[in-house]
Structure 1
Amino acid sequence: MDTFEILLMLTAGIGMGFSLMGMSTAIVFSPILISIYGSKLGNGIMFIPFLIADLYVSYLYRKNYDKKIVLKLIPFSVVGMIIASIFATYISEYIFRKIIAIIIILASILFFLKKYEDKLTKLSWVFGIFGGASSYLANVSGPIFNIYLLSYKQNKEDFIGTRAIFFTVINIIKLFMYIFIFKNINSFTISRGVVAIPTIFLGVFLAKKLLKIINQKTFNTIIVFLGLIVAIKMLL
């Protein structure tokens, strides 16, 4: 591993930390990693630090999560991951990312139209299946799940806690799928992923400081707009 890769992973770690707190900063580091290592290896490199950091954030917010939402969403997400694993060789990642982008944009519009915001909570199967599939194939599920969770009108702490617990469970399941099916967890991806772990904690720390000075309405708006930026980036 050369100096460039080390600096890249350390920088990506900070972005991952912010991403774990609900801010979709993956738009910055994910495309860079995938452009350098390819989609399969890029996802594998990001996975281990994400899993470890998810466990950490879950511990921090262990008293701030909604168990019913997590249990409601997980089965559909697992179905989405299974579908993705079966059709991974047949699905064009290019087309898939366009579909996910359109879903994020439509959901974001409905979220801002307060008349429909509450109705998004009834679409757990849509968000779960497409979110699970996008998590397995491209690690771009954050904006999809963010909009779904925000539709429950949780406060910032409960949103982060529910999100962290949910992703921890999903990533533990995905770990076995990545090892035995997708086969992108190996010495190469692990050796690069672990470099990002220290700066992930820095990113989480900085994000926590930032969230303390942001009110709830601003927080919700930032989360959805960041998701929209991700979606537009995926469409272009």
Structure 2
Amino acid sequence: MRWGVTYFNRHANWRLLTRLMPAALVGIVIGYLLMRQAWVDDQVIKVSIGILVLVLVALNALRERFLAFLPIGEEHAGRQNLVIAIAFGVIAGITTMLANAAGPIMLIYLLAMRLPKDAFIGTSAWYFMVLNWCKVPFMVQLGLINPDSLAFNIKLSPAILVGGLLGIYCSGKLSNRGFNRLIQILTILAALKLLF
């Protein structure tokens, strides 16, 4: 994430970020409160999120195919897009706390905003960096961040570095269209992983 923020910093769309982040913070708090409830079933939540993501992918594909003329996208800054941003922000905040699964939700939202590739990467990198830092106090309180998890994350650092460099290299090789198709495929795979 830090690599994406550093390399694509100037491409981030701050207008979208300022719409999304307050709603995402509300979602994080809701997710935290849900996690404290004994009746919350992790598996049911994961399957529900996976189904939701697949429905959103299908709706986005239908929109692209049949409703491309609709005023949806970053260039249309009306009330409708603000409501959509708030809804996606809250859902992403909840899902990131419950199943660490905000990625597919936000990728669908950013695809619908029709951002150019570099703006997509810069915006999502900033979004997830801020979102994850905001989760830290809640995760510590829930015992999900502890010395063992920190040690494991440190061990993963070399792989994260390699992944960041590969991501920068690959993004330069993809067209906007190819990038969007890749994001859709990866989003579907992430949803299927939640289901199975």
Instruction: Return the TM-score normalized by structure 2.
Output: 0.85
Q: Deviations over 1:136-189 (max 9, x none)?
A: 12212111101101111111111110001111111111112112x222222111
| Preserved CA contact (<8 Å) 1:97 1:234 | yes
Q: Percent identity?
A: 25
Residue aligning to 1:69: 16
Q: Using the alignment, how far apart are the partners of 2:51 and 2:71 within structure 1? A: 20
Q: Measure the CA separation in 2 of the matches of 1:229 and 1:172.
A: 26
After TM superposition, what 4+ stretches of structure 1 lie above 4 angstroms from structure 2? 116-122
Residues 1:83 and 2:34 are matched in the alignment? no
SS state at 1:184 partner: coil
2:149 maps to 189
Q: Deviations over 1:35-63 (max 9, x none)?
A: xxxxxxxxxxxxxxxxxxx2332122110
RMSD: 1.8
Q: Distance in 2 between matches of 1:93 and 1:184?
A: 14
Q: Distance in 2 between matches of 1:106 and 1:214?
A: 26
- Give yes or no for contact 1:65–1:158 (8 Å, CA) kept in 2: yes
Q: Please, which of 43, 66, 76 is the counterpart of residue 94 of structure 1?
A: 43
Aligned residue in 1 for 2:183: 223
What is aligned with 1:123?
84
- May I ask how many residue pairs the two structures share in their alignment? 182
Match of 1:14 in 2: none
CA contact (8 A) 2:3 2:164 kept: no
**Residue number in structure 2 paired with 1:112:** 61
Amino acid at match of 2:148: F
How much does 1:232 deviate?
A: 2.4
Asked if structure 2 preserves the Cα contact closer than 8 Å seen for 1:78 and 1:129, the reply is yes
Against the structure 1 CA distance between its residues 150 and 118, is the aligned structure 2 distance closer, same or farther, given a 3 Å change threshold? farther
Q: Which runs of 5+ in 2 are unaligned?
A: 74-80
Aligned mate of 1:164, from 119, 125, 137? 125
**Contact kept? 1:100, 1:130, Cα under 8 Å:** no
